[in-house]
Chain A
Amino acid sequence: MVRKKKTDQFEESLEKLGKIVEQLEQGEVPLEEALESFTEGVKLVQFCHKKLEEAEQKIELLTKGQGGDWTTEAFPEGAKNGE
């Protein structure tokens, strides 16, 4: 599952980030290693942010066209019809 993998990647990144923080917290990391970890951590933060911002802010209506194809159109917001 392609999609699921992406989520895993995100969760993995978040988890890894937590581990890096923990590792740095322990303090006995050699400086060079700490810097590497930090760089990786920053990359992970960026990655997570990128993933989070990745989705398009859009609301669509998915409908079946006349030829039986599915098409989307902007969701008519503000439409206030009853049930």
Chain B
Amino acid sequence: MPLAAALDQTAVYTVSQLNATIKQLLETNYRYIWLKGEISNFRAPASGHFYFTLKDEASQIKAVLFRPQQRGLRFRLEDGLQVLCQGRVTVYTPRGDYQFLVERIERQGLGAMQLAFEQLKQKLDREGLFAAERKLALPLVPRRLAVVTSATGAAIRDILKVLKRSPYPLSVTVLPVRVQGEEAAPEISAAFATINRLRDQYDWDLVIAGRGGGSLEDLWPFNQESVARAIAASTVPVISAVGHEIDLTIADLVADLRMPTPTAAAEWVVTRLENVERTLSQRSEQLAARMHQVIERRRSVLGYLGKRLVDPRKRLTDQRLLVDDRLDRLERAMAVRIERIQTSVRHLQERLLMQHPRRRIERHQAELNLMHKQIDSQVRQRLSNLRLRVRHLAAQIQSLSPLNVLARGYAIATLEPEQQVLRNADRVTPGRAVRVQLHQGALDCTVDRVQPHFTLASRRSSPGGQEEEDRSV
């Protein structure tokens, strides 16, 4: 043993060290071994783990079946039961006990079956019988089925019941075989041989081989090498449908598809056909829809083009309208233009007329009249101004008029006929005619005598005459 050699015989070890070394040694060397014996001292404490002793005539070993490994246990463990266990050896170091940890447990005999199963599985696996690349492609549309099962079992009834739902007709050929007992395996193998032989005649595209659920012994034919090889040799794809889900058989491993039950196998077929039907009807609808689209698209293009094709006529109309419009506008423009010309002609005419001599004369006359009027009014104005002035002056004169003086009693003497106003007596000689103008009326007088001019003093000496003189001055 490799680890034993590692122990140093001169060294001193602790108990823990030794136990740890032994544990390692045992766990390394006694893994996954098969052990057969009789159960004794069976205990099932509250932990749920099973503790018992495995013994034979001469020896015994402690064994444990932990709770997780109890799943799939199909019989009750009890003292005295002969069992076959698979497991490993371990050491419980706190107590220095070594024990067998059971991974799986079978009643003896059955356990041998399991062993045979494992051995066959390994063998066939090595041969590559389970390899994915060996699997045949399953038909997209299974139509002719060969069913290898009991003609009277639940399996074929389940299968036929499900297949009734198929959207397409299916032909089913049942190859009746026994599915349990010693004769089952040869019959099943023979059925597969028959399928290969008659395949061209019957045109099968799929084989369903199986049976309903049962005990491990019941399912045994499907764990046999002859059956496995027959399935592997099938030239028609095979669906295995053995028992219930937890039962995996060699047949399941070899088959091209494994279904847990016959019903599931039939469901698979129906589902596939339903999918095909759905795909086909979808495609068919899509095809019609797409074609419709293609046509619609063309139609719309056509419609569009068609509209554009009709267009020129419309365009002609449009253009006609346009032409009309333009013509209209042209006419209107022309009219405006003509009117403008007419206006300007008229204008020129007027201007020309304005230049007509008569007009000029008239204008001059008018001017003349105006001037005349202006002059007239100026004259009038002037006259009235003058009149005003005269009146004013008259008033002034009035105020200065000698007549006013006369009113105060003075008189004006003028020498006649010269009508010279007399201011100095020296100028007059006696006998001359003198007019004495009074305030009211006048006196024509003749000078009798001339009084000479006196000074103021002398005048005082003869006031009488002087006074009169002064007044006449």
Q: Show the binding face of A for B, using Cβ within 8 Å.
A: 1-3, 7, 10-11, 14, 17-18, 20-21, 24-25, 27, 29, 31, 34-35, 38, 41-42, 45, 48-49, 51-63, 70, 72, 75-77, 79-83
How distant is the Cα of A60 from the Cα of B172 in the complex, in angstroms? 6
> Which residues of B are in contact with A by a Cβ distance under 8 Å?
139-141, 143-144, 146, 150-154, 157, 160, 168-176, 179-180, 194, 198-200, 202-205, 211-212, 235, 273, 276-277, 279-280, 283-284, 286-287, 290-291, 293-295, 297-298
B293: which A residues are within 8 A, CB to CB? 24, 27
12 A-B residue pairings within 8 Å (CB atoms): A24-B291, A27-B294, A38-B287, A38-B294, A45-B287, A57-B171, A60-B171, A61-B151, A61-B174, A75-B172, A79-B152, A83-B150
Question: Could you say which residues of chain B place their CB within 8 Å of the CB of A60?
Answer: 171-174
The reply to whether A29 and B140 form a contact with Cβ atoms under 8 Å apart is no
B294 lies within 8 A of A24 (CB): yes
**Of the residues B141, B160, B212, B286, contact of A10 by C-beta under 8 Å:** B141
Please determine whether A61 and B176 come into contact, CB atoms closer than 8 angstroms.
yes
> Nearest chain B CB to A57's CB is how many angstroms away?
4
Q: Indicate which residue in B146, B157, B171, B287 contacts A55 across the interface (CB closer than 8 Å).
A: B171
CA distance A34 to B283 in the complex (A): 15
- Judging by beta carbons under 8 Å apart, are B205 and A81 in contact? no
Partner of B203, one of A3, A51, A57, A58: A3
Closest-CB distance, B147 to chain A (whole angstroms):
9
Contact yes or no, B203 A29, CB < 8 A:
no
Task: Determine the distance from Cα of A53 to Cα of B291 in the docked complex, in whole angstroms.
Answer: 26
- CB neighbours (8 Å) of A21 from chain B are 283, 286-287, 290
Please give, as numbers and ranges, the residues of chain A lying within 8 Å of B211 by CB-CB distance: 83
Tell whether, in the assembled complex, residue B298 and residue A31 are in contact, meaning their CB atoms are under 8 Å apart. Answer: yes
Contacts of B284 in A (CB 8 A): 45
Give the CA-CA distance A34 to B151 in the complex, in Å: 53
Cβ of A53 to closest chain B Cβ, rounded Å: 6
Contact partners of B169 in chain A: CB under 8 A: 53, 55-57
Assuming A11-B140, A83-B212, is B172 touching A34 (CB within 8 A)? no
Q: Closest A residue to B284 by CB, please name it.
A: A45
Q: B143 touching A14 by the CB < 8 A rule?
A: no
With A3-B204, A48-B276, A57-B170 given, name 13 new contacts (CB 8 A).
A7-B141, A21-B286, A21-B290, A34-B291, A41-B287, A45-B280, A52-B168, A53-B168, A57-B171, A60-B173, A62-B174, A75-B174, A82-B153
| A77 in contact with B160 (CB, 8 Å) | yes
Q: Check A48 against B172 for contact (C-beta < 8 Å).
A: no
Enumerate chain B residues within 8 angstroms of A48, measured Cβ to Cβ: 276, 280
Give Cα distance in the complex from A32 to B153, angstroms. Answer: 58
